[in-house]
């Protein structure tokens, strides 16, 4: 178990990176605490696998250091790093039994059979694999194989962190949820640092204490699921997390009002953006409200479509050609007669070139 | 809706039936026909029953040739399979070197049997051959026309030279299909090189190895041209394998009845052994399920 410090870390696959675009992973400087569950979330090609491979030791970063509990492991090979990894596709040793699979990492480390037996039995029990111990690993289902992969990491007492590289990709949907819950329970029981790479926001948000959202090589935000929801630091976080994602509308800002195609919207604080910035107003569909009557700062809209998805309804509203999604609670009615939209000023964020604007310094 | 019955479509199968009849069924039946008859010439045949089969199965000449055949196939399998695996594991996995390697290794496979035999026949000659003459210069007593050991050595090495590439290429394809994650997982588990070979590479190569063993067994069990060109089955009968013996009997002595019985027994042995190989190896596979 260990704390992971990613010190001024960056990586480029090119030999002589010059521009920021040359870097697959832009410089980060973060401490990941011991025993917590982290999720690396982002779409394909955002650099999350690069970061994972640097932590696991398959890649040597072109810049910066990786420290486990203060010990520099940047140049240590994978096998000496005390990490375990579960891959996208289940990796089991086909010809061995489940027991031998779980014992394999310990046997390679020359532990005695009595210790191995105790350890394997304990882990198999934890993973609910006890009944399969004598079976060959080859014939098992994908989820059982993934559990074996995980088990091979768990049997080792010295593992500093367990890495998961989209481990549920090949699992049936109804088992995904079950396995995710088991993982979460295991994490709470074992208190080991876990790092979970995924492009599925539900997986990330349900599994992790801290979600690290990556976009185009940047770590755009690290925070709890709630922080990501209420205060996205980047427009990418806004629309990637949440269903539907955050509404983004181009605006002009003057002090504490935003101008949206001739309508002014009050803001809670004052902002002082640069003129060159591309400004956007962001608000989650959950914090917008439709009504039949006009009020002080409401926007006149037309409802294009209403989708009932069970827990709530989503109204697709049109404001001068821009689509705004509105989440309507199940117990409220909505129809095309609802022609006015209000935005909750407490949850309005302003973004300049994609990044969240901080309020103007009190002068 | 009623289906229209039109059996005329069966005529479409006719070309295949004819083809198979002329290429396989009729020749094979001719052999069966010969195997149960005897002749004293003039194209007059008498019923001989199973006489030729009894004779062949009990003949010392057949036993000796069969023994040599097993020895030969056994030796070349024992050399070519491990050597092929070894070569495949040491082949480059990226860059331009792959293409060069693949082309070089395919070359022996493209040479006709007859030419391979001629190459080695000359290569081993003591007077002008590179191998034979060099050995003579170095004072090594090597002569495949006189010495039984040298003859076997030459025939075996020739087959290894000709066919190891096939095994290596099949294994290479098998190795290439192993996902990188397996190697990464093995490193994380602290597996030694031997353990990686034993528990990842070998099991993943099982399918191609089955094909390699079957192909090499059947091919080597039927080998004719190469040893015939190099040693002609000699010295004495030392390298007279089954097919060489069969040709001697059928065309040299024109003993059609015994030769036909010989052919059928030979054919059944190959069929039986291939089936055994296949069953054993696929059952090994199934045990894992």
Nearest to B189 by CA among A72, A81, A36, A196: A81
Q: Does B189 touch chain A (CB under 8 A)?
A: yes
Q: How far apart are CA B76 and CA B152, in angstroms?
A: 11
Q: Write the residue in A56, A77, A105 that is nearest to B189 by C-beta.
A: A105
**Number of residues that make up chain B:** 289
CB pairs under 8 A between A and B: 59
Q: Do B288 and A105 touch (CB under 8 A)?
A: no
Q: How far is CA A284 from CA A94, A239, A295, A328, B134, in A?
A: 48, 9, 20, 12, 86
Q: Does A153 touch chain B (CB under 8 A)?
A: yes
Q: Does A104 touch chain B (CB under 8 A)?
A: yes
Q: What is the pLDDT of residues B179-207, one digit of tens each?
A: 888 998 888 888 889 999 999 999 889 88
Q: How far apart are CA A242 and CA A229, in angstroms?
A: 7
- Looking at residue B70, its pLDDT comes to 92
Residues of chain B short of pLDDT 50, as ranges, are 288-289
Q: Phi-psi category of A51—alpha, beta or left, where left has phi over 0 and alpha has psi -120 to 50?
A: alpha
B192 to chain A nearest CA, in Å?
A: 7
Q: How far apart are CA B277 and CA A125, in angstroms?
A: 40
Using DSSP, state whether A30 is helix, strand or coil: strand
Q: Do B288 and A95 touch (CB under 8 A)?
A: yes
Residues of chain A short of pLDDT 50, as ranges, are 362-363
Q: How many CB atoms lie within 10 A of CB A58?
A: 18
- Looking at residue B87, its pLDDT comes to 94
Closest chain B residue to A89, measured at CA: B181
A56 to chain B nearest CA, in Å?
A: 9
Q: Does B2 touch chain A (CB under 8 A)?
A: no
Q: Do B192 and A89 touch (CB under 8 A)?
A: no
Contacts of A108 in chain B (CB under 8 A): 189-192, 195
Q: How far apart are CA B164 and CA A136, in angstroms?
A: 33
Cα dihedral A338→A339→A344→A350 (10° resolution): 140
Q: Write the residue in A56, A89, A152 that is nearest to B189 by C-beta.
A: A152
Nearest to B267 by CA among B77, B76, B32: B32
Q: Are the beta carbons of B173 and B180 closer than 8 angstroms?
A: no
Using DSSP, state whether A194 is helix, strand or coil: strand
Q: Does A243 touch chain B (CB under 8 A)?
A: no
Q: How far apart are CA B215 and CA B166, in angstroms?
A: 9
Q: Do B190 and A108 touch (CB under 8 A)?
A: yes
Tokens 């973004």, residue? A351
Q: How far apart are CA A153 and CA A170, in angstroms?
A: 19
**Number of residues that make up chain A:** 363
- Looking at residue B289, its pLDDT comes to 44
Q: Which of A87, A140, A156 has the most B C-beta neighbours within 10 Å, making it the best mutation to test the interface with B? A: A87
Q: Write the residue in B190, B195, B288 that is nearest to A94 by C-beta.
A: B288
Q: How far apart are CA A344 and CA A259, in angstroms?
A: 16
For the four alpha carbons of A327, A329, A334 and A340, in that order, the dihedral sign comes to negative
Q: How far is CA B47 from CA B42, B58, B77, B261, in A?
A: 15, 20, 41, 14
Helix (H) or strand (E) holding B211: helix B202-221
Q: Phi-psi category of B254—alpha, beta or left, where left has phi over 0 and alpha has psi -120 to 50?
A: left
Q: How far apart are CA B141 and CA B147, in angstroms?
A: 9
Q: How many CB atoms lie within 10 A of CB A307?
A: 12
Q: Do B182 and A78 touch (CB under 8 A)?
A: no
Which strand ranges, in their side-by-side order, compose the sheet holding A63-68? A25-32, A4-11, A63-68, A71-72
Q: Which tokens is B97 given?
A: 């070197």
């Amino acid at each position: 178990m260990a704390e992971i410090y990613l010190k001024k870390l960056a990586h480029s696959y090119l030999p002589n990176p010059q521009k920021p675009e040359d870097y697959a992973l832009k410089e980060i400087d973060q401490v990941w605490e011991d025993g917590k569950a982290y999720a690396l979330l982002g779409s394909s090609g955002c650099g999350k696998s690069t970061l994972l491979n640097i932590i696991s030791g398959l890649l040597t970063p072109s810049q910066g250091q990786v420290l486990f509990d203060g010990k520099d492991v940047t140049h240590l090979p994978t096998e000496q790093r005390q990490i375990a990894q579960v891959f996208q596709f289940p990796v089991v040793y086909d010809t061995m039994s489940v027991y031998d699979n779980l014992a394999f990492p310990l046997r390679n480390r020359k532990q005695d059979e009595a210790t191995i037996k105790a350890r394997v039995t304990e882990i198999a029990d934890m993973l609910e694999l006890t009944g399969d111990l004598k079976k060959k690993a080859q014939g098992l289902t994908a989820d059982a194989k993934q559990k074996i992969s995980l088990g091979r990491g768990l049997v080792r007492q010295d593992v500093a962190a367990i890495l998961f590289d989209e481990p549920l990709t090949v699992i049936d949907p109804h088992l995904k949820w079950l396995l995710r819950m088991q993982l979460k329970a295991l994490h709470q029981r074992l208190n080991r640092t876990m790092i979970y790479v995924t492009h599925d926001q539900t997986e990330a948000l349900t599994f992790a204490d801290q979600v690290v959202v990556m976009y185009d090589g940047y770590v755009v935000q690290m925070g709890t699921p709630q922080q990501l929801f209420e205060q996205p630091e980047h427009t990418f976080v806004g629309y990637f997390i949440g269903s539907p994602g955050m509404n983004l509308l181009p605006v002009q800002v003057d002090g504490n009002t935003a101008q949206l195609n001739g309508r002014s919207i009050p803001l809670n604080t004052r902002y002082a953006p640069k003129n060159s910035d591309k400004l956007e107003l962001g608000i989650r569909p959950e914090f917008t409200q439709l009504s039949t009557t006009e009020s002080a700062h409401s926007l006149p809209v037309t409802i294009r479509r209403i989708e009932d998805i069970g827990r709530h309804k989503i109204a697709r509203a049109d404001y001068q050609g821009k689509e705004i999604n509105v989440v309507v609670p199940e117990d409220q009615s909505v129809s095309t007669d609802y022609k006015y939209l209000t935005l909750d000023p407490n949850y309005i964020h302003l973004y300049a070139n994609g990044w969240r604007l901080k309020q103007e310094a009190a002068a | 809706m009623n289906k229209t019955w039109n059996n005329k479509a069966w005529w479409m199968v006719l070309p295949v039936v004819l083809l198979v009849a002329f290429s396989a069924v009729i020749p094979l039946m001719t052999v069966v026909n010969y195997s149960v008859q005897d002749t004293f010439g003039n194209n007059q045949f008498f019923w001989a029953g199973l006489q030729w089969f009894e004779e062949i199965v009990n003949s010392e000449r057949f036993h000796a040739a069969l023994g040599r055949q097993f020895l030969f196939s056994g030796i070349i399998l024992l050399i070519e399979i491990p050597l092929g695996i070894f070569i495949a594991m040491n082949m480059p996995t990226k860059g331009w070197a792959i293409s060069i390697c693949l082309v070089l290794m395919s070359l022996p496979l493209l040479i006709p049997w007859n030419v391979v035999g001629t190459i080695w026949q000359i290569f081993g000659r003591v007077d002008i051959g590179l191998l034979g003459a060099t050995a003579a210069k170095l004072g090594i007593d090597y002569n495949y026309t006189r010495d039984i050991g040298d003859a076997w050595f030459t025939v075996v090495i020739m087959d290894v030279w000709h066919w190891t590439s096939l095994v290596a290429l099949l294994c290479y394809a098998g190795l290439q299909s192993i996902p990188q994650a397996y190697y990464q997982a093995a490193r994380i588990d602290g597996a030694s090189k031997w353990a990686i070979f034993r528990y990842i590479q070998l099991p993943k190569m099982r399918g191609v190895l089955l094909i390699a063993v079957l192909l090499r067994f059947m091919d080597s069990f039927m080998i004719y041209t190469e040893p015939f060109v190099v040693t002609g089955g000699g010295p004495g009968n030392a390298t007279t394998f089954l097919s060489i013996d069969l040709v001697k009997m059928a065309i040299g002595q024109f003993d059609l009845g015994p030769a036909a019985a010989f052919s059928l027994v030979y054919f059944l042995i190959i069929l039986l052994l291939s089936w055994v190989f296949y069953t054993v190896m696929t059952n090994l596979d199934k045990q894992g399920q």
